[in-house]
Amino acid sequence: MSGGAARAAVLARVRSALADVPAGEPGAAVPAVPAAAAPDDLAGLFADRVADYRATVTRCAADDAAIAAAIGEAFARHGAGSSVVAPGVPEAWRAAAPGPEVDEPALALERLDAVDGVLSGCALGIAETGTIILDGARRSGRRAITLVPDLHVCVVLAADVVAGVAEATARLGAAIVAGRPVTLVSGPSATSDIELDRVEGVHGPRRLEVVLAG
């Protein structure tokens, strides 16, 4: 335990700064935010919102053959010849990725930097914001595999799409309590730092392909 004196001093300062707060005051209840009416077509809204970020969205039926075909097309669009695959991706999907190497045992960083793309699933999608949530479980994979390669192909099951951010954070509780890292992805990497001109792709994957099944 480092800095015991600093800890005691900061906490003492906080307490003396809050001398005006009555002792025993309960933590005020946070007003509930009325949930927006959920749209009828969650998957359709999700697809539109993802496309708004200049990601590519392919919709297909929720069966393995259709998903595999969409995965193959997504990699082919970018001429990808090699890929890393999250360990929990079903075998039927994996076979559609080019030269798939499963990240189990974990691949070296240099290998992740050398492959053309990555195939993963995800935990959830958020319709209102077009967000994909990777939760560190086997289908999402560990964080580095969906970060270092330049192309990310992500399969989202329509059944996993929720309406808004609040529902998503509520559903993430289990992963977080289990200590798993969570990443929210909304479109490809982007910057607007130079004259506010949006440029897709700086450090994260520059291209995001979403396969929306169902």
Partner 1 sequence: MNGPRRFPEAAREALGDSQLRANLRRATHTIRDRRAAVVAEIGEWEALREAGRAIKEATMRHLDVHLEALERSVTDRGGVVHWARDAAEANATVARLVHEAGAREVVKVKSLATDEIGLNDALAAEGITAHETDLAELIVQLAHDTPSHILVPAIHRNRAEIAALFRRTLPGAQGVSDEPAALAEAARRFLRERFLGARVGVSGANFAVAQTGTVCVVESEGNGRMCTTLPEVLITVMGIEKVIPSLADLGVMLQLLPRSSTGERMNPYTSLWTGVAPDDGPQAFHLVLLDNGRTDVLADATGRQALHCIRCSACLNVCPVYERTGGHAYGDTYPGPIGAILAPQLHGMRGPTTSLPWASTLCGACADVCPVGIDIPGVLIHLRGRVVAQAARGDVPAGERLGMEAMARVFSSRRRYEAAQRLARAGARPLARGGRIEHRLPGPLAGWTMSRDLPAPPAQTFREWWRAR
Does 18 sit near partner 1 (CB under 8 A)?
yes
Please report how close the Cβ of residue 105 comes to partner 1 at its closest, in angstroms: 9
Q: Which of 67, 54, 47, 96 is nearest to 206 (CA)?
A: 54
Does 187 sit near partner 1 (CB under 8 A)?
yes
User: 146 by DSSP, 3-state: which?
Assistant: helix
Segment contacting partner 1 (CB under 8 A): 59-67, 116-124, 153-161, 185-193?
Answer: 185-193
174: Cα within 13 Å, side-chain hemisphere = 5
Does 23 sit near partner 1 (CB under 8 A)?
no
Q: Look up tokens 């995001």; give the residue.
A: 208
Segment contacting partner 1 (CB under 8 A): 62-70, 74-82, 115-123, 136-144?
Answer: 136-144
Site size with partner 1, rule: CB under 8 A: 78
Does 33 sit near partner 1 (CB under 8 A)?
yes
Considering only residues 51-80, where is the footprint of partner 1 by CB under 8 A? 52-53
> Going edge to edge, which strands form the sheet with 100-102?
56-60, 207-213, 151-157, 117-120, 83-85, 100-102
Does 165 sit near partner 1 (CB under 8 A)?
yes
Please report how close the Cβ of residue 198 comes to partner 1 at its closest, in angstroms: 8
- Kind plus residue range of the DSSP H or E element containing 102: strand 100-102
How far from the centroid of its chain's Cα atoms is residue 77's Cα? 22
Which residue in 39, 56, 186, 214 binds partner 1 (CB under 8 A)? 186
Which residue in 38, 73, 143, 214 binds partner 1 (CB under 8 A)? 143
